[in-house]
Structures are given as C-alpha cells and as structure tokens.
Amino acid sequence: MTSYLCAVGTANPPHRIPQLHIADFMASALQLDEAGTRKLRALYRVSGIGHRYTVLPDYGRATGAFEFFPNTPGLEPFPSVGARMAEYRRHALPLSVRAVHDCLARLPEVEVSSITHLITVSCTGMYAPGLDIELVAELGLPRHVQRTCVNFMGCYAAVNALKLADAFCRATPQARVLMVCTELCTLHFQKSTEDDHLVSNALFGDGAAAALVQGRPAANRPSLALTAFHCGLEPEGHQDMAWHINDFGFEMTLSSYVPRMIQQGIGRLTEGLLEQLPVRLSDIRAFAIHPGGRKILESIEQALGLTAHDNRFAYQVLRDYGNMSSATVLFVLRDLLASLTPADAHAPVLSFAFGPGLTME
C-alpha cells in the first residue's frame, strides 16, 4: 500500500516586508551603534532572503507607529509570552484556513466531508481547545475526524506529519488525511545581541501550508508517492539547535556550527534512506530541501555533490519567504509539484528537513 501527497496549499500574512527594512527595525530595537548597525545589515544582505511575511506590521514601521511592540526606546516593557500567544490565537486560524482552501482548490474531487484525519503542526504557539478543534468547526470537517497534533518539534515536524499521514493511509486504505503546518515565528523576536539570536531574528518568517495525503494519486494532477522515510540524529549538535520557552517568547538557538554538522551527517542520512530503495543518489534529479538558511543549503550541496540549480526550489522559497519553520519544506514541495510534467513520471524526489536535536529527517 502506497500513500500519495496529492496537493499542497499555502498562505502568508498580509505584511510582506523587505529584509533590509527588518534589519533597520532590529538595529533600532537593539539600540545598536553605527558599527553594530553596519554589521547587522551585512548579515541580512548575505542571508539569501529578499522578503519575509509577518502577522506584525511593526517590523516595517518606525518607533511611534507600532501596534504590538511598545512605542518606547528598547521596546520596554518587552511583550510577554502571554501577549505573544494572544496574537498566535488571533492569527493562526484564519491563516490556516486560507492554506487549506488553497490546497483543496487544487483537488475539486475532494469533499471536505470525506476527510478522515486532521494533523496540525506548530512549534510557535499552543493552546487548548486548540487549532485542530477550531479547524474542524471553521472548515465543516466531520466531528468524528481523527485529530493529531504535532507540536514543538521545529522545522522537521512536517516530515513527521507526513509519516503519520502515510501510516494512517497504510492502515486504512480509504483514509484521506489533511495536514496543516502553521508557524508564526516573528512573534518570538528576542531582544538580544547574542549571535544565535541575531541569526534567528534574521531568518524566520510567518506562513502556513496544508497538504492532502491519501491512498491513491490525485485524479488530474501530479502526485508524490511516499515511498520511504529515515531519521538521523547528531547528538553532538544538542546545544547548537534548540528551542526553549522563556519569559519573553520562544527562544531559538541556532549556532554557526549547524551547517557544518549537517554537512557531516547528511551523507549518512542519505545512505540510510536509499538502502531501503532501488535508487542511487545519482538517479535523483529532483530535490525538496528545507532552506534552514543559505549556509545550510550550500553545505548540503558540498556534501552530496549537488548544484545550486538542484536546490533551486529551496533557494526560491528562502528568497521569497525566509525560514517558516515546519511549513517551509511544504512550500518547497509546492513549487516542485508545480514544475512537474508527464516526462517526470516515476522520477525519484529527495527531501530533507532539520531541527532541534540535531535532527535530520
């Protein structure tokens, strides 16, 4: 029994802000001097990101016009976790609904009433009764739909959701699984000049992605057969990519060593995956890699002998959206799906995502 990823839909908040405008906001918020501001702008320029989306318009505004952050020097009193979670509850549902509608619009043969399983994914906000129950009501899903929540796993969580969807379809051939990844990363800006926080503030944006997985291909559009999964763990990276709840939001640790550790481990991960399949790395021409950052993509290319063209979908998503945590790899898969033609039938696709641990899926 094979399951199929049949469609991906996406949505972003209305505020699309150029990367260097966000750099100016950060420099002001961190009260950097002229040299610090130049260094910060250089970091943003080489990030590979052109724009990011956010639910907070403040990132594109000057002090005095903020809606969420205080209009004070240093943004004091800095918003608490409670204030940030209130914004998450306000924005997560409408953004998720838009992504689902975009997904299902690509599959007119799929009735909402036929969805048997709902998987929600997020690491940037949690509450209960939560997003899963709100989606049942808002979308008109059957009340008996089976709900699963994947929380706080980070950027690789979409792969775990796909594993769950695959297992549901293998267990019940009639299963039709809707998965929704919603991440509002910009709620968790940390007012810190530590290198880890400067980097994470430079990378993350907001977005939602929805996908439909079922036990048969879509009727009139390309589908991806989910044929094998593999998980790798690099424990020495335990402290280099982490995600903690603190008094002023969720704090991301993303050290400069992460690209090097991924480069060291990605070959073993790929070998472990391909051992399950009659496929060699040289057979693969289509890649959907989570763009955790420009250096991560370049490290993978060096380790596996890929080109920037092989990684083109990842670079496009990084440029246009930044890193949206778990939703990001689904944006990449969306663009890959849109590029497929009948000549690509049966061609293998290799996808990676990464997260705390250091985990590589």
DSSP notation for 319-340: HHH-B-GGGHHHHHHHHHHHH-
- Beta-carbon-side half-sphere exposure of residue 111 (alpha carbons within 13 Å): 3
189/186 Cα distance (integer angstroms): 6
Over residues 269-278, the mean pLDDT reads 91
Maximum average pLDDT range among 8-17, 60-69, 258-267: 8-17
Q: In this predicted structure, what is the pLDDT of residue 239?
A: 63
pLDDT tens readout for residues 336-352: 999 999 999 999 999 99
Whole-angstrom Cα distance, residue 325 to residue 322?
9
Is the confidence at residue 311, as pLDDT, over 60? yes
Catalytic residue among 6, 103, 155, 169: 155
- Strand order of the β-sheet with 359-360 is 232-233, 359-360, 354-355
The answer to whether the beta carbons of residues 188 and 124 sit under 8 Å apart is: yes
Q: What is the predicted pLDDT for the residue at 238?
A: 56
**Omega before 94 cis (within 30°)?**
no
Query: Checking DSSP bridges between strand 354-355 and strand 359-360, what pairing results, if any?
Result: antiparallel
Mean local confidence (pLDDT), 183-196: 90
Give 49 or 252, the one with higher predicted confidence.
49
Q: Residues 259, 194, 239, 320: what is their CA dihedral angle, to the nearest 10 degrees?
A: -40
On whether the CB atoms of residues 263 and 332 are closer than 8 A, the answer is no
Please state the φ and ψ torsions of residue 306, each to the nearest 5 degrees: -90, 165
Per-residue pLDDT at 77: 94
The Cα 6–Cα 337 span in angstroms is: 9
- Over the range 292-307, which residues count as b (16 or more CB within 10 Å of their CB) and which as e? bbbbbbbbbbebbebe
Q: Is 155 a catalytic residue?
A: yes
- The strand pairing partners of 204, in sequence order, are 323
Share of the chain above pLDDT 90, in %: 80
Q: Between the CA atoms of 200, 98, 56 and 18, what dihedral angle is there, to the nearest 10 degrees?
A: 60
In tens, the pLDDT along 279-299 reads 999 999 999 999 999 999 999
Question: What average pLDDT does this structure show over 211-223?
Answer: 94
Structure tokens at 330: 């689904």
pLDDT recorded at residue 263 = 83
pTM of the model: 0.96
Query: What integer best gives the mean pLDDT of the chain?
Result: 93
Give CA–CA dist 3/225, Å, rounded. 6
H or E element that contains 165: helix 157-171
How many residues would you count in the chain?
361
